[in-house]
């Protein structure tokens, strides 16, 4: 969820699984606030401006793709404080959410954590590390395709999003590029010769030279969720059309403390999964500016703008062409 400042069968199993994954995705993003942008300094004229609709939505293509989903919240004052009780009030309910392309229309319906049974709720909150359902204090809601069939996106297509809520109309457009998967993944010892328990992940890619490509990645360590890298996006400006190997840092929750001795590394004995996604430029610009600003903190940081592809609101509507790569590191 993006918080903007001033800004039974197979189907049932899939429903539960996807809800858990969506809630986990929500927890990874919950702590990232839209505070600043790397290219343009922005001083808000009215810090207490009326709330706007904030969109965070994705549509994926590829193996194991999530069904399309959208989180809707309202922005809050730049100078306001946020706690769990206020977060519940930020969710936008009873919205009309529709995805269209050249041939199909998908109408999304709202599903909330409170609609899951107690066992599902407890399991989901344990996965989030939030303790009991009594202590979570947030009824997380998401708009998702109601049948939970694996109706996913297609590479090379454009997808338009329309949201009608609070008497407002919000629109956005994204594309799912053709995927450029990694060629291979491997591990190497860390640069520290005295550390024989950690390993560095290395990836090899052949970038296509006919287009400018943009990428975002996630990693999974054993049974943990997929987490994006702290700097999760990259473009091919320096390696367009080339083949090369590069290190890939382990993703983690942004609320987690950084251990400088282990940050970015994996351990011997780990099973590693890399989710490597090709994205379009507008999607890249959102994460590039957001991640730049999340690392630009301190008393001398400027208030700047995060790029958004949402018309009539804030946030991001993004497409992913995803590929998965698994690596098992021996003990």
pLDDT digits (tens, 9 = 90+) for 79-93: 566 666 677 788 999
Closest to 78 in 3D by CA, of 285, 305, 255, 312:
305
**How confident is the model over 182-207, as a mean pLDDT?**
94
CB of 190 within 8 A of CB of 107? no
Torsion of CA 207, 208, 212, 216, to 10 degrees: -40
Angle at 91 between CA 87 and CA 94, to 5 degrees: 160
Predicted local distance difference test score (pLDDT) of residue 29: 41
Instruction: Identify the residue whose tokens are 């379009």.
Output: 280
CB of 320 within 8 A of CB of 216? yes
Predicted local distance difference test score (pLDDT) of residue 145: 82
Give dist(CA 240, CA 257) in Å, integer.
Answer: 35
CB of 61 within 8 A of CB of 322? yes
108 by DSSP, 3-state: which? strand
> For residue 153, is pLDDT > 60?
yes
Predicted local distance difference test score (pLDDT) of residue 25: 44
The DSSP output letter for 113 is G
Give dist(CA 115, CA 214) in Å, integer.
Answer: 37
> For residue 104, is pLDDT > 80?
yes
DSSP sequence for 151-173: ----TTEEEEEEEEETTEEEEEE
Angle at 264 between CA 261 and CA 268, to 5 degrees: 80
Give dist(CA 29, CA 3) in Å, integer.
Answer: 9
pLDDT digits (tens, 9 = 90+) for 212-235: 999 999 999 998 888 899 999 999
> For residue 293, is pLDDT > 80?
no
> For residue 142, is pLDDT > 70?
yes
Backbone angles phi, psi at 236, to 5 degrees: -105, 25
Band of pLDDT at residue 75, cut at 50, 70 and 90: confident
**How confident is the model over 230-241, as a mean pLDDT?**
94
Structure tokens at 156: 């090379």
């Amino acid at each position: 969820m993006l918080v903007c400042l001033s800004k039974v069968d197979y189907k049932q199993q899939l429903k539960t699984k996807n809800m858990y994954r969506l809630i986990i995705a929500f927890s990874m993003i919950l702590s990232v606030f839209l505070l600043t942008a790397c290219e343009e300094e922005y001083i808000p004229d009215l810090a207490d401006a009326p709330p706007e609709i904030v969109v965070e939505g994705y549509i994926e293509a590829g193996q194991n793709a999530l069904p399309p989903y959208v989180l809707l919240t309202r922005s809050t004052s730049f100078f306001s404080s946020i706690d769990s009780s206020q977060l519940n009030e930020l969710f936008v309910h009873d919205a009309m959410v529709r995805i269209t392309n050249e041939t199909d229309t998908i109408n999304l319906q709202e599903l909330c954590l409170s609609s899951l049974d107690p066992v599902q709720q407890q399991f989901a909150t344990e996965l989030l590390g939030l303790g009991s359902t009594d202590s979570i204090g947030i009824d997380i809601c998401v708009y998702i395709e109601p049948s939970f069939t694996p109706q996913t996106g297609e590479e090379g297509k454009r997808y338009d999003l329309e949201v009608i809520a609070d008497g407002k109309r919000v629109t956005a457009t994204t594309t799912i590029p053709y995927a450029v998967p990694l060629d291979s993944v491997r591990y190497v010892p860390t640069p520290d010769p005295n550390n024989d328990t950690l390993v560095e992940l290395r990836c090899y890619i052949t970038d296509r030279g006919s287009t400018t490509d943009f990428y975002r990645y996630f990693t999974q360590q054993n049974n943990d969720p997929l987490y994006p890298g702290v700097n999760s996006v990259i473009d091919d400006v320096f390696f367009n059309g080339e083949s090369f190997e590069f290190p890939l840092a382990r993703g983690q929750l942004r609320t987690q403390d950084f251990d400088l001795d282990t940050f970015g590394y994996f351990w011997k004995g780990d099973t590693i999964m890399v989710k490597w996604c090709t994205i379009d430029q507008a999607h890249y610009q959102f994460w590039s500016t957001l991640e730049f600003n999340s690392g630009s903190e301190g008393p001398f940081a400027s208030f700047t703008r995060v790029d958004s592809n949402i018309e009539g609101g804030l946030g991001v509507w993004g497409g992913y062409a995803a590929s998965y790569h698994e690596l098992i590191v021996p003990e």
